[in-house]
Structure 1
Amino acid sequence: MISRARQLLAAALSGALLMLPAHTGIAAAQSAHATTAGKVQSIALARTAADVKRVADYWKPEKFKHTDSYSPATPGTAAAPRSTSAGAAAGPATRAAANTASKASTAKLSAGRLAAPALPAKGAQVGSTMGKVFFRFGDKEYWCSASAVAARNRSVVATAGHCAYDPRQAKAADYWIFVPNPGPNGEQPTGIYVASSISLHEDWIGRGDYDYDYAFVTVHRGFAWVNKNGQYTMQDVGRLQDNVGGLGLEINKKPGTYTVATFGYPAGAQPDGSRPYDGKTLRMCREGRTIWNAAPPLDLQKGVQLQACDFSAGTSGGPWVIDFDRTRKIGSLAGVNSLTWDRDGDKRYDAVSSPYFDTVAGTVYQRAAAQRTPAKIA
């Protein structure tokens, strides 16, 4: 456990965005891409029709009736050995500390939006770009928050790195699916999307470095289960972005210069044992300003913290949205929920943090956006 003055506890948090190809005509961007591309890895999950069918068969309709029994993933679920002690004391989260040990790229894009946000599809439900991901590590099911990301392949989901890859086991999650806007009883109103591959930074894969606790997952076309003569069959419902829309992506946005709203499906207990949330409803922390933060025991040198947020486990991977339009439910992604904090030691979470989305994050996204998937799965 951490000292009362600065107590850090891991939690689970989800996010969506819509992007178009970026870096056009910007020399610095091209240089940064060349520098960072070698640090990005894409790991194949379900690539063939047989793979997709295997995953789909695992998530038959009756499986969703028991999602309340699955564990909301936390960094402790999928962190490197030295990171699992999200129990080591973290020093004061100051901007100076983050700047001193910054791992920023040698060449960066200018801060700003890489693409305009996409409107949700006609008739889409409130917050339809956001949802839950379900997966397994070993023989145990987990879930996190996540959201659709607009991309040229129209098939990208953003979430936390620990919701897709476990550095302790050097292993990607299995049976990974995304369910946008899930119902409280496991309903899948806009389909189920099986992961084709995940794109991550090598320092999350190899070290569990929390500066890179994010993943962009390329998914197959969605499907819905249809009961025909007492047998469930898969029915193709199209590409993710066509069905739910997405958010724009913001990179190199300096903390303190913007306000952000965070989203997710909190479910875990507070440090005092109370459970104010049940994980069935999409929640939003109030919009607030961000600050730099750092936690050397977790290799977190350039984290971004949002205060006055009581999110708990279940919200990992949920989106940080800039310029959130409450009417159209769109905006731009600037981070994902990674860690939760009890800063004053009163046994209640009071802040969340995200890795800083810089040029490197944009490069990881681009890798996911470039992946191809079959034109039809069912």
Structure 2
Amino acid sequence: MIPRARHLAAAALSGVLLTLPALTGVAPAAQAASASKVQTVTLARTKADVQKVADYWKPDKLKDADSYSPAAPASEAAPASSSGAVSVSNQAIAALRKAQGTQNVAPVAPRQGAAKTMGKVFFRFGDKEYWCSASSVAARNLSVVATAAHCAYDPRQGKAADYWIFVPNPTNSGEMPDGIYVGSSISIHEDWVGKNDYDYDYAFVTVHRGFTWEKQGAKYVAKDVGRLQENVGGQGLELGKKAPVARVDAFGYPAGPQPDGTRPFNGTTLQTCVGSTRKAVAPSLELNFGVQLAPCNFSKGASGGPWLVDWQSARKLGNLVGVNSLTWNRDAKGEFDAVSSPYFGAVTGDVYRHAAAQKILSNVM
């Protein structure tokens, strides 16, 4: 029997604590046996849809964005019939594998300067605004963002987030120098949609061309700035990276309280954790193939931020191997001490390739 003091507490990055047994781990290779079942959810299909989202996030509203709540992940699943998600056929997945290949993806620098891939996503569930962390990922359509699934789709409601945008490299004053990118569609695994399974708490969101707000007289006018990857670059993607890994650099914008109530982070500054990995399970959250990174005291707000290997600090590029999903208080003390991600394997590659194959509008403004 495990002594009470040795029990581990894990939490979705919303801060909901759950008492769990010690980590036992399951070989990540076992996940490869799962069928690849990709689902897609439309966010903004037409120019009118994009304009509606843009109008919602006018500069005055964006200046208050840091006061919004970090997203709370779902705790129970909604009936599949109300999900709004559309399944992708096995034939379509096979075609994507043939067209795009199944190999890892190399990081790509922007047209000018160092990469600025990391940022925040802002969105609304119901009548409340939320935000999470995210990053741009290199893709054929130059328009893919990686984040946590709970930062884009809520199984409790059986619906995607409303007014979803990605803002790379936001400033503390609410300025968005590298553009605002409206979400076009979400690519996720059906077990997140139907089961709230944290083995699939990742989403690849295809985004439309970006824009910035320019003030002309008494009003603001949206100016097209082009595609995401051209402006900020894209992180690479490495699949099948099994724990243990000696070094992973994790990034995010944490803001929530620690278990003792303290708030060392305010959500306005990009934070980093550097550590090694091990396997992780959280049975109550259906996490059987998780990867845990320690040490790390990230709190809510860091959800969806990238895990990178082979990080090049000068170029600000590396290879994505996970996203912040759950935070852990392993020693049951006052501060979180680890964070975990779903395992990124072959199934993840299918979800990514589907997002990378989506088309976007050629002109949104």
Query: In 2, distance between residues paired with 1:352 and 1:180?
Result: 22
Q: What SS does the aligned partner of 1:251 have? A: coil
**1:40: which partner in 2?**
38
With normalisation by structure 2, the TM-score equals: 0.85
Matching of residue 264 in structure 1 with residue 262 in structure 2: no
Cα distance, 1:120 vs structure 2: 3.6
**2:352: which partner in 1?**
365
Query: In 2, distance between residues paired with 1:272 and 1:136?
Result: 29
Q: Which amino acid aligns with 1:40?
A: V
> Structure 2, unaligned stretches of length 5 or more?
16-31, 79-96
For the 8 Å contact 1:144–1:316, the answer to whether it is kept is yes
**1:213: which partner in 2?**
201
> Structure 1, unaligned stretches of length 5 or more?
14-31, 83-107
Q: Which amino acid aligns with 2:52?
A: R
Q: Which amino acid aligns with 2:104?
A: L
**1:71: which partner in 2?**
69
Cα distance, 1:347 vs structure 2: 2.4
For the 8 Å contact 1:12–1:315, the answer to whether it is kept is no
Query: In 1, distance between residues paired with 2:298 and 2:11?
Result: 11
Q: 2:104 aligns with which of 114, 133, 136?
A: 114
Q: 2:309 aligns with which of 317, 322, 331?
A: 322
Matching of residue 311 in structure 1 with residue 307 in structure 2: no
Cα distance, 1:192 vs structure 2: 0.1
**1:146: which partner in 2?**
134
Q: 1:256-299, CA deviations, whole angstroms, 9 ceiling, x for partnerless residues?
A: 1442110000111101000001100111112x221001011110
**1:375: which partner in 2?**
362
Q: 1:7 aligns with which of 4, 9, 30?
A: 9
Q: Which amino acid aligns with 1:67?
A: A
Query: In 2, distance between residues paired with 1:259 and 1:324?
Result: 9
Q: What SS does the aligned partner of 2:157 have? A: coil
Query: In 2, distance between residues paired with 1:46 and 1:137?
Result: 15
Q: 1:290-332, CA deviations, whole angstroms, 9 ceiling, x for partnerless residues?
A: 1001011110000000011000110000000000011111100
Q: Which amino acid aligns with 1:166?
A: D
Cα distance, 1:81 vs structure 2: 5.7
Query: In 1, distance between residues paired with 2:49 and 2:330?
Result: 44
Query: In 1, distance between residues paired with 2:68 and 2:203?
Result: 21
The range that moved more, 319-328 or 253-262, is 253-262
Task: Map 1:172-187; keep pairs closer than 5 Å.
Answer: 172-187=160-175
Q: 1:191 aligns with which of 150, 170, 179?
A: 179
Alpha-carbon RMSD across the aligned residues, in angstroms, is 2.0
For the 8 Å contact 2:198–2:286, the answer to whether it is kept is yes
Query: In 2, distance between residues paired with 1:299 and 1:346?
Result: 25
Cα distance, 1:65 vs structure 2: 1.5
Structure showing greater relative contact order (alpha-carbon pairs closer than 8 Å, 6 or more residues apart)? 1
**1:242: which partner in 2?**
230
Matching of residue 332 in structure 1 with residue 319 in structure 2: yes
For the 8 Å contact 1:320–1:337, the answer to whether it is kept is yes
Query: In 2, distance between residues paired with 1:240 and 1:36?
Result: 31
Q: What SS does the aligned partner of 2:359 have? A: coil
Cα distance, 1:119 vs structure 2: 1.8
Q: 1:200-259, CA deviations, whole angstroms, 9 ceiling, x for partnerless residues?
A: 000000010000000000000000111112121111000000000011101011111442
Query: In 2, distance between residues paired with 1:156 and 1:79?
Result: 27
Query: In 2, distance between residues paired with 1:113 and 1:266?
Result: 32
Q: Number of residue pairs matched?
A: 323
For the 8 Å contact 2:185–2:206, the answer to whether it is kept is yes
Q: What SS does the aligned partner of 2:303 have? A: strand
Cα distance, 1:162 vs structure 2: 0.2
Query: In 1, distance between residues paired with 2:250 and 2:110?
Result: 18
For the 8 Å contact 1:150–1:156, the answer to whether it is kept is yes
**1:230: which partner in 2?**
218
Q: Which amino acid aligns with 1:49?
A: K
Query: In 2, distance between residues paired with 1:235 and 1:204?
Result: 36
Cα distance, 1:146 vs structure 2: 0.1
For the 8 Å contact 2:247–2:277, the answer to whether it is kept is yes
